[in-house]
Amino acid sequence: MKKLLVILLMISLISLPGCWSGFEIDTLAIIIAMGIDKSEGGYFLTLQILNPSAIAAKEPSTAAPVVLYSEEGKDLKEIMRKIHEKSGRRIYSAHLQLVVFSEEIVEEGINDALDFFARFNEFRTDFYFIVAKGTTARNVLSILTPLHQIPGIKLHESLKNSEQLWAPTKSVRIVELVNAIVAEGKEPVLTGVEVTEEVANVKLPTKSLESLQKSEIENTTKYFGLGVFKEDKLIGWLNEEESKGYNYVIGNVNNTVGYINYGDKVKITGEVTNAKSVMKASLEEGKPAIDVVINMTLNVGAVEGEFDVSKEENIDIFNELAEKKIKLMCEKTVDKAQNEFNADIFGFGEVIRRKYPKLWKEIEDDWDNEFPDLPVNITVKAKTNQLGQITKPFFIKEKE
């Protein structure tokens, strides 16, 4: 809600006198999110337009908080002009929060679309890109939920929260995406988003204002792992655990939760409060190799079974089990990137280029053949900081 109020405040400033480019707010179509699907003629573009009068209304309003406008054409800028004529308002893009690509679009390549976003001077560079998995971009932008009036803002905030608190996603802006596409020795990833099965094939929003007031929510969006790219084309997906492994390798885990089994009767929930990685290139028998060291701090969240975390030897066991679990997770992700996708999403090639520039010049043109056989050595070091408000499960009796 705070973010929405800030946007409305900024919009209101547009109409103040004294600026040569000022426009009255009721003459603007303010874009919050964009969806790009494939059509026979090229692109099917959907704009999610903010309806300020519905948001700011003091009395309950039957008007939708956003309106979707869609048009198709060969060129995105041409389509924007068509929507401008349809809406009767000037398209205003400076508050864009999110761009949703369909799978069909990213499988064919997104260079042309990115060129449009890079050239159009009204766009800022702080919006995110995601991929609609198993549905259309328009469907993703059609779903309203009771807790969020603006779907585009909900998706934007959920993506940031998922990355910061759960770790299977990644917030990617245009500069990072373009750099990964053009870089030698690195490939892009984008987060995927799914919708519930009930709305997977609809073409129009199905949520009425009345249904939004019900406590039972059926239609929603959910982020699904990371899409792996080769240059500008999607080639496959990492599942949730593999996506977490990717973020551990690149040092992009701020906070997440997981459980560890100790034997058959003990289950410990651990909260990772920080995890940073260091990647270094080395030479093994004259050939490049990568060493990844991950340092993470943990808190004990819960203990099921008889396991006394007040004992130092048990904390050592917990740390060791956590290290093994994260190491295996990362190794599986690296193996999939090397042997299934042959896509250097971690930027190992860039690490080699910085350390051994002459060697990189010799192998960069053949990196697709070198990468699958690249030795990657992963070391995980865990340290537990907090044990919770109690150290022993309350049901454990002291031995006399």
Q: Does a structural domain hold residue 19?
A: no
Tens digits of per-residue pLDDT, 333-382? 999 999 999 999 999 999 999 999 999 999 999 999 999 999 999 999 99
Report how many domains make up the chain: 2
**pTM for this entry:** 0.87
pLDDT at 332: 99
**Rounded-to-integer distance, Cα 346 and Cα 189, Å:** 9
Shared domain for 164 and 220, answered yes or no, is: yes
Last residue of a domain, one of 238, 267, 288: 238
Among the candidates 214, 238, 262, a domain finishes at: 238
Name the pairing type of β-strands 266-284 and 287-304.
Answer: antiparallel
Among 74-88, 280-294, 321-335, the minimum mean pLDDT is found in 74-88
Nearest of 192, 36, 45 to residue 110 by alpha carbon? 36
Assess whether 106 and 178 both reside in one domain.
Answer: yes
- How would residue 83 be classed by pLDDT, with cut points 50, 70 and 90? very high
In a domain, 12, yes or no: no
The one-letter amino acid code at 335 reads D
| One domain, residues 184 and 229 | yes
The reply to whether 170 falls in a domain is yes
- Owning domain of residue 100: 24-238
Measured CA to CA, the distance from residue 241 to residue 238 in angstroms comes to 8
Q: What digits encode the pLDDT tens for the residues 164-190?
A: 999 999 999 999 999 999 998 999 999
Distance, CA of 336 to CA of 324 (rounded, Å):
18
Whether the CB-CB separation of 49 and 67 falls below 8 Å is answered with yes
What pLDDT, on the 0 to 100 scale, is given for residue 72? 96
Both 222 and 262 in a single domain? no
Both 207 and 276 in one domain: the answer is no
What are the residues facing 294 on neighbouring strands? Answer: 277, 380
Question: Residues 181, 308: one domain?
Answer: no
Please give the full DSSP string across 303-362, using - where no structure is assigned: EESS--TTSHHHHHHHHHHHHHHHHHHHHHHHHHIIIII---TT-HHHHHHHH-HHHHHH
Q: Are residues 257 and 234 in the same domain?
A: no
163 and 280 together in one domain: no
Does one domain contain both 208 and 309?
no
Does residue 367 sit in the same domain as residue 283? yes
Give pLDDT tens digits for 215-248: 344 568 999 999 999 999 999 999 999 999 999 9
**Residue 160 to residue 152: CA distance in whole angstroms:** 13
Whether residue 209 is contained in a domain is answered as yes
pLDDT in tens, 270-301: 999 999 999 999 999 999 999 999 999 999 99
Q: Tell me what the pLDDT averaged over the chain comes to.
A: 87
Q: Is residue 9 part of a domain?
A: no
State the Cα angle at 82 between 77 and 84, rounded to 5°. 95
Domain termination site, one of 238, 258, 289: 238
Q: Is residue 147 part of a domain?
A: yes
Q: Return the pLDDT at 228.
A: 99
pLDDT digits over 100-130, tens only? 999 999 999 999 999 999 998 889 999 999 9
Q: Which CATH number is 298's domain given?
A: 3.30.300.210
Tell me, yes or no, whether 182 and 325 share the same domain: no
Higher-confidence position of 119 and 392: 119
Whether residue 306 is found in the same domain as residue 226: no
For residue 158, what pLDDT is reported?
95
**How many CB atoms neighbour CB 222 within 10 A?**
12
- Band of the pLDDT at 140, cuts 50, 70, 90? very high
What percent of the chain has a predicted confidence (pLDDT) above 90? 71
**Model confidence at 23, in pLDDT bands (50, 70, 90)?**
low
